[in-house]
Structures are given as structure tokens and as C-alpha cells.
Structure 1
């Protein structure tokens, strides 16, 4: 019997290779992990930094359709695990019938989620402060990364992660999420009422500035009209860096336990 595939989807400002530490653990547990980049994403962090224009102007549907095609080409429906905007995309894919299950870690807010905490607004300012950024890619400074991702870490660890993993990312998804509740056909809309989908796990870091805990709580409530499995696990004191910082294994292990509970994997 083939191993259960897992498709990892990163969010804004991180490269696909940031999932590398997860690969060995998931393989050891009998899964077959893949972490494709976003459309046109360069193969390495260094190359992505040299060619920021490659990903400029990508929107949520562009990325969702990209991963839908990747999933369609797999022989076995995968588990989809996404972080930040990758979490939103994982939710969209699951709602559209792609994958056996999904895990959305600190997922960007979907249409219908109303809370907009000040910390979240500040985290989005590098992109949202200039309307012209809608068509551009944007990079985070070390200080901006520290606030949005590394606020629960030491300054040394935050700086090291910024240097190792960050890349320019399209600003368009942030604009789309910020205006989702004012648009009838927003690309940030998810089929939360789908009762035929696989199980969904939401994960929140309670110290997250980019996707504050209250936002993930509100996301969970959007699924109240579906009888499909939808659960939430909180990691207290963890920030938006929880997939790449020194505590990543705790998050990954909790996900593996949950997947076993859903009868996924060996």
C-alpha cells in the first residue's frame, strides 16, 4: 500500500524549503511529504531574493489552483498542511474536495472572519501601507519579521530565522484577505459549509501577532454549519514562527497524533 502523501504549503515571506525539518519526521512516521513552492517560486532562498518580480501579483486563486493541479497529479489524495496563507489555501482546497484532510496552522483570515486586532494590522503594514504594492512583491525587514513572526523568540533566534528562510512575497493575498468581507466573490472565501470534506485541524499560536488567536477562534466558528470534523489546538505562548522555530517538533508531533486519530497514515 503506498504511503500517505502530505503536501506542505508555506505562507507569505517563507520559502518552501522552510518545511525541510518536517520531512524527516513525517517520513519516519510512514508519510510521503512534498513541499512545492508557490507558482514561479525560485528553487532556493537566494534565488528567490534575487528575483522578487517572479511572484509579483499572484493572488489567492492563482496559488490555490496551482496546488489543486499538483494534488490532482498525485496517485493518492494527500493530507494538506498549510501555514499562514498556506493554511487559508489548505482550507480552500479541502472545501473544494482536494485531499483526505487538512491542517491549517495560524491560517490567514477567510471571508466571514470579522476580528481585526491592532497587532494583525501592524503585521500587514509592510504590504498594505502602499496601495501600489497590490501588484508587487514585498520583503520583510529584520525588524518587521521580529514583530510579525519572531515576537515570542529571542532576538537572536528571530534574526537567524529571518536570514535563513525569508523571501519576497506577493502582497495581493493580503489585500484580498483585508477586503474579503466587502466583496461578494472574494478569493478568500472558503466552502465552510461542506459536509462531505475530510477532517480539518486548525492550529493557533496564542502569542501570534500576524494571525492572532482571536482570529483563529473566529475561523473555527465559520465551520459551525458543517458536521464534518473540525477541531482546534492551541499552542500557548507561541508566535507565527511556530513551524520554523525551536519548537516546531512539538507542533508537528501534535499533528501526527491527530492524523492517526483520523485513521490517516500507517
Structure 2
């Protein structure tokens, strides 16, 4: 089991505010860890402020998000376990690959460079954002209907709409373009050294009903990591969509994450 006070850093994904990790933060603190939940660069401290000031995150890319979290890690005095969701799961993998994290949990990650995303379900998620090239420099918002497809499709409409009202915020459009065109970009910010055997343990988690990060894509990412002798584990929750860290079933995912950390970080 990890020592008392081990830092755990949470990194959220697109269109969600850092405060959406609140339940996880409290659970991990109770479990003896020292949670850190900084949010993305430029992100206001509240959901309301983030909605009122969307331009504060406009133009921010994946490299900016990684650098922001790397700087915060530098002030911790100890390498944290990094838990990321969606785009934040890619950030967690980047930090692990760079040796800045002791371990990482990638919840429903997008494909890293070299992994093809052939899941038809992901097309309606990205296409409305990609069809206007100017969106790369803008802050973008989802409608409640788009949020239900991308995040809440495994929930009732009532719960999806509640989560949308509670946590949805504008996000920079640039990461969407960077992820979609990762395999066409030589220096893509989605690049990971999958053969890195010096990194710490990694857990990749998929949802069986996820439209945004299809389980087949997450499995393909796991297979790419087989080039490394470092620990790479996979867990799938067959009935869960992309909202798994924030919906009414969040505790199942959080406790499974805690169990993995206790097993792998001795």
C-alpha cells in the first residue's frame, strides 16, 4: 500500500470542470492520499466563471496542459500518481512517460499516436467541432444534446442533463484537432514512447458503452504498450459510458482505481 500522504493528481478531460473530481478528491483524502486537483491552464476556479470567461482557455493545446501539470508536480516534492480522464488521460500518460509520475490511471483515454481510431461512434463527437477550422483557436461548448451523446449516452436523459448543468464548461478546440490528426502529424502532442520500460505502472480503463473513447481503441492502446516491460493493466466496465468518473456510479470506478493502486504501488 502507498505511504500515507502520497500525492495524487487529477486531470479532467474536455468540457468538464476540475471541480467534477470533488467526490474523488474526498474519497482519496479519506483513504490517506494527498489529492491535487489543479485544472487546466487558464481555467477559472468555478464552473460559473468558466462559462462566463470562455476565452481564458481559447487556443490552449495538449502540450500546454502537460507543461502546466508538470510545473505543478515540480512543486510537490514527490512524484504523484496521476489520474486522468479522456484528454486528461493522455496528459497522465505523457507525464508518466516523462518520468514525472510514479504511476498513472488513464480513464477512457483517446488514442495515442500510432493507434487508429476506427470507431464510428466517435465521428458525431468530433465532427461538429472539426468542420470549422477556426474552432482550433476558439473555446467551444457542447449543447445538452451533444453532451448526452458524447458523455451521457449510458445514463437517463435526466441524469445526463443534470451533469451537463452541474459540470459542463467551454474547452479549447485545439486538442480536438490535435487528437484527430495525431497520426498525420510527425510531432504530435499525442506521441508516447510505448516501449518505455523505465516508466511506472499504468492502468487503462474503458467503458463498454463509451461513444468518445471506444473500448476497442483503448484495447488497441494497451496492445501498443506491450512493447514495454513496465506494468500495463486494463480494466473494462461493460455498462458504462464516458461519464463514468462523474455520474452516479463514480464510486465503483474510484474504488477500483484505489484497489489497483494498493496492489501495484507497494
**1:224 aligns to what SS in structure 2?**
helix
Where do 1:81-160 residues align within 5 Å? Answer: 81-160=83-162
Task: State the partner residue of 2:197.
Answer: 195
Kindly provide the CA deviation profile for residues 136-165 of structure 1, in whole angstroms up to 9, marking residues without a partner as x: 110000000000000000000000000000
Kindly provide the CA deviation profile for residues 70-119 of structure 1, in whole angstroms up to 9, marking residues without a partner as x: 11110221000000000000001100101110000001121011132121
Q: Is the 8 A contact 2:136 2:174 kept in 1?
A: yes
**1:222 aligns to what SS in structure 2?**
helix
Aligned counterparts of 1:121 and 1:193: Cα–Cα separation in 2: 29
TM-score (norm 2): 0.97
2:32 equivalent among 27, 30, 33:
30
Aligned counterparts of 1:234 and 1:251: Cα–Cα separation in 2: 10
**2:225 aligns to what SS in structure 1?**
coil
Matched, 1:212 2:231: no
Kindly provide the CA deviation profile for residues 13-72 of structure 1, in whole angstroms up to 9, marking residues without a partner as x: 000000001112111111111110100100100000001111011111010010011111
Where do 1:1-266 residues align within 5 Å? Answer: 3-264=5-266
**2:91 aligns to what SS in structure 1?**
helix
Q: CA RMSD in A?
A: 1.0
Aligned counterparts of 2:15 and 2:118: Cα–Cα separation in 1: 21
TM-score (norm 1): 0.97
Aligned counterparts of 1:179 and 1:32: Cα–Cα separation in 2: 36
Kindly provide the CA deviation profile for residues 215-246 of structure 1, in whole angstroms up to 9, marking residues without a partner as x: 10111111121000001000011000000001
**1:177 aligns to what SS in structure 2?**
helix
Q: Is the 8 A contact 2:112 2:221 kept in 1?
A: yes
Q: Is the 8 A contact 2:4 2:32 kept in 1?
A: no
Cα distance, 1:125 vs. partner? 2.3
Aligned counterparts of 2:32 and 2:128: Cα–Cα separation in 1: 40
**1:57 aligns to what SS in structure 2?**
coil
Q: Could you list the runs of 5+ residues in structure 1 that have no partner in the other structure?
A: none
Q: Could you list the runs of 5+ residues in structure 2 that have no partner in the other structure?
A: none
Aligned counterparts of 1:116 and 1:7: Cα–Cα separation in 2: 31
Aligned counterparts of 2:262 and 2:140: Cα–Cα separation in 1: 38
